[in-house]
């Protein structure tokens, strides 16, 4: 057992977040912590990390277990360059490297067996700790989060808040703790970065605990799910989809058992009532009373499945041709992309691509919130547009919820306004809350209520699922599936894209492609292409190896390989000798470059030897 918590409780005043919960991490498990917004998932992670404390808990942790958590403030000195900050993860490697340099200096005058043994041992430790590959690893992880190599030399205080968070995330991944705690790691990442992160976490050699509302991410990464609901926690083995099925089956089984027990109780109570006052049956009645008293009553588990139920209805049907876009160039001071697109009534176009390629800019250009650089755009007959902006949805206002909606639609009566707010879970006194105190998810629901009253026949949605929990996303999916109009939407939530999109508009740098297929079809096609490319490369390699050489050709090739091996071995010896030159052992940078070169020569010799052995066999 790597980590175990039992009887954990946490409260804020009279508000109980969770109570007497049990939680454990075994070996290299990949665990999801799921639950509604506000159920206490982040609080639980913070308590595990030590940023907060449980009110009470029994905690057992394996010796020297390290825990890494993406805290709010993980970069203390923002005056450092990114590279300097990330290199803090490799201090152990640099210490070994320094010891190696010291021994190399000693070996100039004294190379006895003990010193050589110590040197060999340090070199082995250096290699185990990725001493030869740390820089490559750092560059790879950094670039996958949307940064360029030149960003490594920038100071951290030059970056935006979101970029600083991503830098902190990179640092956390590179530190490789025994338990990696991740709270909404896919937020603000594009699809390509999310898919890379999935692969990274799947192959992470240690344990991971993740809070996420990205269902596809959870399905592809985790093998255990803990649900936190109504202050209680329950463990399920399997990925997210498996958890959903197991939970449904559990609820059905408990409901059936509850109904059976209630019938049994009703039957026994009738018997007791019938015989308790009859002298010759009183003893029988008393035994049944005792049986009922001892019975362990089944209680129906509370399940927080309350979601909004909304129906988006267009006021007008609108023309068949919804939107025609011809060579539309979008951007600010320079072009970001050129788009050609013909949207017809009933289309659901999902826009995907890397961050910064122009997806949101495209939506703003359609809405005339920013001018196009060139090209043409034409809406069809009687097309009415409703727009949801991910940033505008997180607005501030000192109005109440009901005032915010009513001021936008003053012609509607109070009953209609309250009815619409009720559809989006604003009931009773909720409608008198100040907008400023609403959570991110509540603000999204309020923005969607405004969109519903627009009765548009074309919906433009820019990241509509941000800040919604999983049940909220599912509710929005159901509402949009029933919608009779046309949808153009931007999203990084692949499950949402899969459920809604009938076609895709893919932004890749300045190249924009329209793909007339669903996300599932597109993903399957891309996987097939990738597989075919790999197969072709394998076949080419096999054919290259299987192409028979004549006896003379084989002998000639063997001689060439033997000559190349000899040359490389001489090159290796020369490089090794350079280690004892002051020019190198007094210059750490040059010594590192030399070590890299020696490592490369080793690999070249190994490849040449392998080919020589195959030909000589």
Lowest mean pLDDT among 124-138, 528-542, 585-599: 585-599
Question: What mean pLDDT, rounded, does the chain reach?
Answer: 88
Between 114 and 366, the higher pLDDT residue: 366
**pLDDT level of residue 128 (50, 70, 90 thresholds):** confident
Whether 394 and 500 share a structural domain: yes
Residue pair 365/330 in contact by the 8 Å Cβ criterion: yes
Phi/psi of residue 57, each to 5°? -175, 145
Residue 44 resides in a domain? yes
Structure-block tokens of residue 563: 């000559």
Residue 313 resides in a domain? no
pLDDT recorded at residue 67: 93
Q: Which residues pair with 240 in a beta bridge?
A: none
**pLDDT level of residue 589 (50, 70, 90 thresholds):** low
For helices 588-616 and 91-109, angle between their N-to-C axes, nearest 10 degrees: 90
Whether 452 and 507 share a structural domain: yes
Between 585 and 306, the higher pLDDT residue: 306
Among 214, 238, 262, give the residue marking a domain's end. Answer: 238
Whether 45 and 119 share a structural domain: no
Average pLDDT, integer, range 220-247: 94
Average pLDDT, integer, range 138-157: 89
Whether 338 and 203 share a structural domain: no
C-alpha distances out from residue 222 to 208, 285, 502, 539, Å: 9, 53, 28, 34
Residue 544 resides in a domain? no
Among 174, 201, 221, give the residue marking a domain's end. Answer: 174
pTM: 0.74
User: What are the tens digits of pLDDT across the range 301-319?
Assistant: 777 678 888 899 999 999 9
pLDDT recorded at residue 587: 64
Whether 232 and 251 share a structural domain: no
Q: Total structural domains in the chain?
A: 5
Average pLDDT, integer, range 351-370: 92
pLDDT recorded at residue 319: 95
Q: Which residues contact 196 (CB under 8 A, 6 or more apart)?
A: 144
Residue 538 resides in a domain? no
Give one word for 27, left, alpha or beta, with left for phi > 0 and alpha for psi -120 to 50.
Answer: left
Residue 510 resides in a domain? yes
Whether 374 and 500 share a structural domain: yes
Q: What is the percent of the chain where pLDDT is above 90?
A: 49
Task: List the 458-462 sheet strands across, edge first.
Answer: 385-388, 458-462, 486-490, 348-353, 503-508, 511-515
Residue 610 resides in a domain? yes
User: What are the tens digits of pLDDT across the range 88-112?
Assistant: 989 999 999 898 888 888 887 777 7
Residue 595 resides in a domain? yes
Whether 193 and 288 share a structural domain: no
Residue 525 resides in a domain? no
Whether 462 and 442 share a structural domain: yes
The residue range of the domain holding 598 is 551-616
Residue pair 97/592 in contact by the 8 Å Cβ criterion: yes
Q: How far is CA 577 from the centre of its chain?
A: 49
**pLDDT level of residue 72 (50, 70, 90 thresholds):** low
Whether 389 and 263 share a structural domain: no
Please, what sign has the CA dihedral across residues 594, 600, 604, 609?
Answer: positive
Q: What is the percent of the chain where pLDDT is above 70?
A: 95
User: What are the tens digits of pLDDT across the range 150-193?
Assistant: 999 999 989 877 688 788 889 988 988 999 999 988 887 888 88
pLDDT recorded at residue 561: 87
How far apart CA 576 and CA 115 sit, in angstroms, is 17
Structure-block tokens of residue 25: 């991490």
pLDDT recorded at residue 544: 61
Lowest mean pLDDT among 119-123, 349-353, 482-486: 119-123
Residue 487: strand, helix, or coil: strand
> What's the CATH code of the domain at 158?
3.40.50.300
Whether 586 and 485 share a structural domain: no
User: What are the tens digits of pLDDT across the range 258-285?
Assistant: 899 999 999 988 888 888 888 788 888 8
The H or E element that residue 282 is part of is helix 282-294
**pLDDT level of residue 548 (50, 70, 90 thresholds):** low
Among 135, 151, 174, give the residue marking a domain's end. Answer: 174
Whether 150 and 268 share a structural domain: no
Whether 378 and 437 share a structural domain: yes
Residue 74 has pLDDT above 70, yes or no: no
């Amino acid at each position: 057992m790597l980590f175990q918590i039992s009887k954990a409780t946490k409260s804020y005043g009279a508000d109980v977040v969770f109570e007497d919960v049990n939680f454990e991490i075994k070996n290299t498990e990949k665990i999801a912590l799921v639950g509604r917004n506000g159920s206490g998932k982040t609080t639980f992670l913070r308590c595990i990390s030590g940023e907060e404390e449980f009110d009470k808990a029994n905690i057992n942790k394996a010796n020297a277990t390290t825990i890494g958590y993406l805290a709010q403030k993980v970069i203390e000195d923002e005056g450092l360059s990114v590279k300097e900050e990330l290199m803090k993860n490799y201090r152990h490697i640099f210490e070994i490297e320094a010891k190696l340099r010291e021994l190399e200096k000693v070996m100039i005058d004294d190379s006895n067996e003990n010193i050589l043994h110590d040197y060999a041992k340090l070199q082995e430790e250096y290699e185990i700790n990725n001493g030869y590959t740390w820089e490559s690893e750092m560059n790879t992880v950094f670039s996958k989060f949307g940064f360029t190599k030149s960003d490594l030399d920038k100071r951290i205080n030059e970056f935006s808040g979101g970029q600083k968070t991503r830098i902190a995330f990179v640092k956390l991944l590179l530190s490789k703790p025994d338990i990696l705690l991740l709270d909404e790691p896919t937020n603000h990442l594009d699809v390509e970065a999310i898919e890379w992160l999935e692969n990274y976490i799947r192959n992470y050699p240690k344990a991971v605990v993740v809070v996420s509302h990205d269902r596809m991410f959870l399905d592809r990464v985790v093998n255990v799910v803990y649900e936190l609901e109504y202050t209680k926690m329950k463990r399920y083995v399997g990925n997210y989809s498996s958890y959903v099925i197991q939970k449904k089956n559990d609820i059905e089984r408990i409901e059936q058992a509850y109904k059976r027990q209630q019938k049994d109780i009703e039957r026994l109570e009738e018997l007791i009532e019938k015989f308790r006052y009859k002298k010759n049956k009183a003893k029988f009645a008393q035994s049944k009373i005792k049986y009922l008293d001892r019975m362990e009553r089944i209680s129906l588990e509370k399940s927080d499945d309350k979601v909004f139920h909304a129906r988006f209805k267009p006021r007008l049907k609108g023309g068949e041709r919804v939107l025609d876009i011809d060579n539309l160039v979008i951007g600010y001071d320079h072009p970001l992309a050129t788009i050609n697109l013909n949207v017809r009534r009933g289309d659901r176009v999902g826009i995907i691509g890397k961050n910064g390629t122009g997806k949101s800019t495209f939506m703003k250009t359609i809405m005339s919130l920013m001018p196009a650089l060139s090209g043409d755009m034409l809406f069809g007959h009687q097309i009415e547009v409703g727009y949801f902006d991910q940033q505008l949805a997180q607005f501030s206002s000192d109005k109440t919820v009901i005032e915010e909606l009513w001021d936008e639609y003053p012609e509607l009566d109070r009953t209609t306004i309250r009815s619409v707010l009720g559809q989006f879970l604003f009931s009773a006194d909720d409608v008198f809350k100040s907008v400023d105190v609403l959570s991110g998810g509540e603000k999204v629901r309020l923005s969607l209520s405004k969109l519903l009253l627009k009765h548009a026949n074309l919906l433009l949605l820019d990241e509509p699922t941000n800040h919604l929990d999983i049940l909220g996303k599912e509710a929005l999916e159901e509402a949009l599936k029933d919608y009779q109009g046309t949808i153009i939407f931007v999203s990084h939530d692949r499950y949402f894209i899969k459920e809604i999109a009938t076609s895709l508009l893919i932004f890749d740098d300045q190249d924009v492609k329209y793909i007339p297929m669903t996300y599932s079809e597109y993903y399957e096609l891309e996987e097939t292409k990738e597989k075919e490319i790999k197969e072709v490369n394998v076949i080419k390699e096999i054919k290259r190896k299987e192409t028979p050489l004549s006896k003379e050709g084989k002998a000639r090739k063997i001689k060439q390989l033997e000559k190349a091996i000899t040359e490389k071995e001489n090159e290796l010896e020369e490089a090794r000798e350079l280690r004892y030159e002051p020019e190198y052992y007094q210059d750490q940078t040059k010594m590192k470059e030399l070590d890299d070169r020696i490592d490369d020569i080793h690999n070249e010799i190994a490849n040449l030897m392998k080919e020589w052995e195959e030909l000589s066999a």
